[in-house]
Amino acid sequence: MENTAVIFANRNFKLKSVNAKKFALWLFIVSICMLFAGLTSAYIVKKSDGRWLEFDMPDMFLYSTLVLVLSSVAMHWTYLKAKDNSLKAVKIGITATAAIAIAFFYMQYLSWVKLVAQDVFLVGNPSGSFVYIFSGLHLAHLIGGLVFLLVVFLDTMNYKVHSKSMLAIEMCTTYWHFLGGLWIYLYLFLVMNN
Amino acid sequence: MSITDIQVTDELVHGDDHHEEHHEQSFIFKYIFSTDHKTIAKQFLITGIFWAILGGGLSVIFRLQLGFPDMDMGFLQPFLGDWISNSGKLDPEFYLAMITMHGTIMVFFVLTAGLSGTFSNYLIPLQLGARDMASGFMNLLSYWFFFLSSVIMFISMFLSTGPASGGWTIYPPLSALPQAMSGSGMGMTLWLVSMVFFIASTLLGGINYITTVINLRTEGMTFRRMPLTIWAFFITAVLGLLSFPVLVACVLLLVFDRSFGTSFYLSEIFIGGEALPNLGGSPILFQHLFWFLGHPEVYIVILPALGITSEVISTNSRKPIFGYTAMIGSILAIAFLSFIVWAHHMFITGMNPFLGSIFMFLTLIIAIPSAVKAFNYITTLWKGNLVFTPAMLFSIGLVSFFISGGLTGLFLGNAAIDINLHDTYFVVAHFHLVMGSAAFFGLLAGVYHWFPKMFGRMMDEKLGYIHFWLTFVGVYLVFFPLHYIGIAGFPRRYYSFTNFDAFSSFVDLNSFVTVAAIITFGAQFIFLFNFFYNIFKGKKAPLNPWNSNTLEWTTPRIPEHGNWPGEIPKVYRWPYDYSKPGAKDDFIPQTVPYHQTKESNTDFENEESKKEQPAT
């Protein structure tokens, strides 16, 4: 009885704080937001300078955006399945998410090919260079997301992901949705400014 | 069932229990790849001291060039090799390399990593009552990224083409074109690589500091009971988290311009009569991005020093800090304002004068929270039972520099005056006093104050006094005359001014400054001796040498991994109950509950004491 009381007392105090790792992830997300906020404001400042090359964004970027949204859906499905303790579905879900993400990589590459066909190069007017930098830097962060997926996949193999131990997959889902949202922001930003 | 569940979450959330079982670690994991915040703090401190000697040494060499332009520097040939010509003259390009390295080293490696890295790591867990940082592994990575970045920067100083030489602000196109100067070649590349690791280190550290402050405070340690040191480190980490990623963006575009031929910062440049292919870029864009980091960086440097000073002054005045809430408010206000004033570094870039006046207005507002801090320090000292420990002297010295350097900030913040004084020695004098020397004094105050906790031994007080007076007087003798040279119009970063008749009357003054700089630099070796000798041979320190209230003084003389051998202490009051009327001692540690201090409680505190559960 006394033990229970102590545990409850501890619990009440600790409930006030967020999980430290989750909080650290949010701070990491804040720093990525600042990175892209810096880059997109650089874009606006540079554009207002004049000597700006106008061109149409290839349609391929729209398709790739839809594919990335699909991968976020798959990720969320995986998360729900982990809550239900259906580990097999979790493994399928993670694989599917990663596969769709790799398709996204390829489609981004195809978009670059389209850009080159439009005579928009990395080296040249900054308006084109920015598109390559934004999409390339986003892909670099997505590689981090893929590594995170792999870690969660291995955890699932070792029965470390289930309804009572959701931390890893929860954080992975948060990061994945963030990367999806980040790309949608970048895509809309580029479309509206071009 | 429900109990087991709770225990599971418990462990996940706090997980401090497993620290208590002490296990012997091998030398490598205890002192080198340690995850213990105290060891990591000492690693940051020692590395910072190394860089401070190097950065200070460079300044002495270029001061010799400025103070005694005709001097034969042949005696430096063993150290500098070909950078000293056969006629004993310093190479002009190497002069630029030295001022660049001096700035980079002091701003980033000494006053960011050496100051925040040391004291945030050391004090956050100890003053909050935590076993360690939120993530020991991230903390370890933070130090080793810093170490790697240090190694790369150090190597760059031995390149035959010299290290980066375009000033610590690395403005393009000078820094973007290897043809521009020899330092913009490999030296600049290594500078950029080094800074990438440095930023990674700062972000890892900062995320850790913030998470620890939010999540790992001991029971009773509310935000309103946190020592001002922790408030300062906390807000500093937030500033770093928001501003360093923008430096990444800035540097990334520069890397692309340098290595891949893009034109973000470059346009219409002719070298040797030939046009470069770059079109459409803008060097002003770089300045905007750079100063968006650069200005908060100034506060990343000074805020921890101000936090340390608050703690040291209050303890050694035996008085509560004056205006605790106002102190927190002014930290927050300074942090907020630091993000919206960056263009005051760019008044002469041809910006719209209307925009300039907005930035001028915002800049001058910073004077208000800064003045609040200065007044609060003075009113804390007012009628206190002052104890002049070396740490206290250095803290008072900081307040002095903060005021005298801050006053010139009011001049420089005015666009009309700044256009005249921009890039003169007036600016050099201003920021060396308000940011450089003040933050450096904060660092020294911190070392003197927490040395007994760090190493379990005392530093020598007499040597501390000699060190203080030589440094304090020395700093004023070095930087005060520079105001006059600056008002006379002499530009910073120039190799020599003897070619200009207008400045010939300042030759003696410059020699004087150089002599003062050498003496001040020499005085630091007193500190170094005091520091290293007493790590091993100092008098053993008592548990609470300064009769201080904060939690770190409740640990054993040399805290083990996990900080407290038993339970983590609980906190019942704020940290500044010094000389409380009615109390039997002139200090009441944070761990003493109100119901034990009936004689000194206020009515409100008596109410609070009824809610306290007796300690079990």
Selecting from B215, B252, B280 the residue whose C-beta is nearest the C-beta of A20 gives B215
Does any CB of chain A come closer than 8 Å to the CB of residue B17?
Answer: no
> Which chain A residues are within 8 Å of B128, Cβ to Cβ?
none
Judged by CB atoms closer than 8 Å, whether chains meet at B134 and A32 is answered as: no
Report d(CA B423, CA B283) in Å as an integer.
Answer: 18
Residue B452 lies in a domain: no
Whose tokens are 């105090």? That residue is A13
Judged by CB atoms closer than 8 Å, whether chains meet at A31 and B7 is answered as: no
Residue B400 lies in a domain: no
- Asked if residue A152 has pLDDT above 50, the reply is yes
Residue B219 lies in a domain: yes
Which two structure tokens, joined as six digits, stand for B560? 């083990």
pTM over the 0.80 mark: yes
Residue B258 lies in a domain: no
The number of domains in chain B is 2
**If 0-12 CB within 10 Å is exposed, 13-18 middle and 19+ buried, where does residue B230 land?**
buried
Chain A nearest CA to B452, separation (Å): 31
pLDDT block averages, 10 residues each, chain B of length 616: 39 42 67 91 97 96 93 89 89 94 97 96 96 93 96 95 93 91 93 96 96 93 96 97 95 94 90 84 93 93 97 96 96 96 92 92 95 96 96 97 95 93 95 96 97 96 97 97 93 86 86 96 97 96 95 94 92 94 92 91 88 63
Residue B257 lies in a domain: no
Task: Name the pLDDT band for A7 (thresholds 50, 70, 90).
Answer: very low
Closest to A46 (Cα-Cα) out of B502, B501, B265:
B265
Which DSSP state fits B271?
E
Give me the pLDDT at residue B613, please: 65
Extended strands (E) in B212-315? 270-271, 274-275
Residue B203 lies in a domain: yes
Contact between residue B361 and residue B353 where contact means Cβ atoms under 8 Å apart: no
Give me the pLDDT at residue A18, please: 73
How many H-runs (helices) and E-runs (strands) does chain B carry? 21, 2
Give me the pLDDT at residue A41, please: 94
Range A21-193 classified under CATH 1.20.120.80: yes
Judged by CB atoms closer than 8 Å, whether chains meet at B215 and A23 is answered as: yes
Whose tokens are 């729209």? That residue is A62
Give me the pLDDT at residue B17, please: 43
Give the end-to-end CA distance of chain A in Å, rounded to a whole number.
Answer: 68
Tens-place pLDDT, residues A165-183? 899 999 999 999 999 999 9
Alpha helices in B23-105 (DSSP H): 27, 37-67, 77-80, 92-104
Chain A's closest residue to B240, CA to CA, is A31
State the Cα angle at B283 between B280 and B288, rounded to 5°: 120
ipTM rounded to 2 decimals: 0.89
Phi/psi region, residue B338 (left: phi>0; alpha: psi -120 to 50; beta: rest), is alpha
Give me the pLDDT at residue B10, please: 39
Judged by CB atoms closer than 8 Å, whether chains meet at A31 and B289 is answered as: no
Residue B607 lies in a domain: yes
Residues in A lying within 8 Å of B, measured between beta carbons:
4, 7-8, 10-11, 13-14, 17-21, 23-24, 27-28, 30-39, 42, 45-46, 49, 51-53, 122-127, 129, 133, 137, 164, 167
Sign of CA dihedral B384, B388, B389, B390: positive
Report d(CA B312, CA B388) in Å as an integer.
Answer: 11
The percent of chain B in helix, strand and coil, each rounded to the nearest 5, is 70, 0, 30
Give the domain extent around B197. Answer: 33-160+183-226
Which two structure tokens, joined as six digits, stand for B125? 């867990």
Whose tokens are 């803290």? That residue is B395
- What mean pLDDT comes out for the span A70-75? 97
Report d(CA B364, CA A72) in Å as an integer.
Answer: 47
Give me the pLDDT at residue B616, please: 47
Residue B613: how many CB atoms within 10 A of its CB? 9
Report d(CA B86, CA B536) in Å as an integer.
Answer: 44
Residue B111 lies in a domain: yes
- Asked if residue A4 has pLDDT above 50, the reply is no
CA distances from B606 to B221, B234, B593 (A): 19, 31, 11
Contact between residue B311 and residue B328 where contact means Cβ atoms under 8 Å apart: no
Tens-place pLDDT, residues A100-147? 999 999 999 999 999 999 999 999 889 999 999 999 999 999 999 999
